[in-house]
Every structure is written in structure tokens, then in C-alpha cells.
Amino acid sequence: MSILEIKNVNMRFGGLQALDDVNLNVVENTVHAIIGPNGAGKSTLLNVLVGKLIPDTGSVMFDGKSVLGRAPYEINQMGISRVFQTPEIFGDLSVLENMMIPCFAHRDGAFELNAVASVTSQKDIIAHAEHVLEEMNMAEKRHMHASALSRGDKRRLEIGMCLAQEPRLLLLDEPTAGMARADTNNTIDLLRQIKDERDITIAIIEHDMHVVFSLAERITVLAQGKPLVEDTPDNIKGHPKVREAYLGESADT
């Protein structure tokens, strides 16, 4: 059963065909990786999915409902959470507060004028936030300023914040970009754990083949705005077209 259906999506920036008739289905409760060389249209596709960009033509259905034309916060409330390439967190707030905000969003929706009750009285929210922090192994850092966290911890926090909303689809935009090998492996373990323990679909855009092949169940290769092949990791590895378009290139660099 596919949870995300992308049909005939086209997007043009001036003379550049960023997305060229993209068709893609993501099956529920799988890890689906989208790979491709730089400029293949991965980021554009991701921005279409979260509502930052609206494609010229085509349709994007999430769980049977169209996401096109909706604001990013509406799409998020539908159940799609996004992890950014550089961790986007609330740097001025404490770790616990960072975690509480998605809990509020999950409980109260996009806007709730809750100006009189005290934060400390929101026992359910605090319990929920602390639970997720423990899951992320960050409980002892709850009173730290989020901006003081290490890069790896910021990443964990951001993933945790997305999970706190209990999304149906988690989008990851190069989650290990710029990370040391040890941090990358930690992130892989974390994502594996998430996949095993939750009912969740993960779509991941990644450059690092190590990450892709350790996690993904399906892989779509994108080149010049077009999906080239879609298959299982094992088949992708040996696919001549992919070698030509992507792996050959990445082997050079």
C-alpha cells in the first residue's frame, strides 16, 4: 500500500527542467532512499513534498489526500515530518523545551492561544517530551541550551522532535552530511532502531552510499530531474545505468 504517490510532477526554473515527469510511490512502513548526482532534482522534489515549492504540473498524494497548495505546517500536521541537512532546532531554547514544542503541535494543532496556563502544569506534554528524550538517549541533557549541543546531538534532537509528533512519513535530507564516520554510524543505528520500533515510513535523500545501502529497502535513482530506476538495493548496486549515471561519477570523486 503506498502512502505517498507522486504522479507526473514537472517543475521548471527558467531554462532548467528541475523535475521532469517524476512518478514515484513510497510504500507504507518501508525505508525508501532517493539518490542521484548533484542537481538531479532531489532537493526540489523534497521541497515539493513539504510544501515549500509548488510544481508546475502533476499531483502529490499523501495517504489519499493532495498536499499541493498547502502550507508547510499544514502538510506537517497531515503527518509528514522533515529533518534538514543542517539540523534546524530552536537554538535559544533548552533541549526539553525544544522537545515540548512538537508535543504541543501534536496535541493542540497549528495554533492554540494557550496564554494563561503555565508550561509546568502541562504534565502530559512534559512526560511525552521526556519520554522521547530518553528514547534519544538525551535525557541528561534536557536543561542544556540547544545551541550548545554537539552537531551529532543536534541531529538526534531534531530527529527526536520529528518523532515526538508521531509522523507517518519521516523525510530525511542528507541526515549524515558533514558528519564524522562515528556520528554517521550512530545515526544509522538510530534510524534502524526507529524503523524497527515504530510504524513509520522513512524517505531518505542521501549521498553517502554506506548509509543508503545499510538502511534502504527500495531505492530510486534520480538523474536530471527524471527517475532512472527504482529497485531493491542489491539490484541497484549492479545496475549498469546507475553505474553510468551515478556510481561511476561518485567513484571518481
| Chain residues that interact with other proteins, rule: CB under 8 A | 50, 71-73, 76-77, 81-82, 84, 88-93, 97, 100-102, 104-106, 108-122, 125, 161, 165
The residue (of 8 and 114) whose beta carbon lies closer to other proteins is 114
The residue (of 109 and 248) whose beta carbon lies closer to other proteins is 109
Distance CA 200, CA 211 (A): 18
Nearest to 226 by CA among 4, 11, 3: 11
Cβ neighbours of 34 (radius 10 Å) = 25
- How far is C-alpha 40 from the geometric centre of its chain's CA atoms? 18
- How far is C-alpha 210 from the geometric centre of its chain's CA atoms? 18
Least spacing, CB of residue 115 vs other proteins, in Å: 4
Least spacing, CB of residue 3 vs other proteins, in Å: 18
Least spacing, CB of residue 122 vs other proteins, in Å: 6
Least spacing, CB of residue 251 vs other proteins, in Å: 28
Nearest to 32 by CA among 197, 172, 228, 238: 172
The residue (of 165 and 187) whose beta carbon lies closer to other proteins is 165
Distance CA 100, CA 130 (A): 8
The residue (of 104 and 213) whose beta carbon lies closer to other proteins is 104
Distance CA 108, CA 7 (A): 32
Least spacing, CB of residue 81 vs other proteins, in Å: 7
The residue (of 45 and 219) whose beta carbon lies closer to other proteins is 45
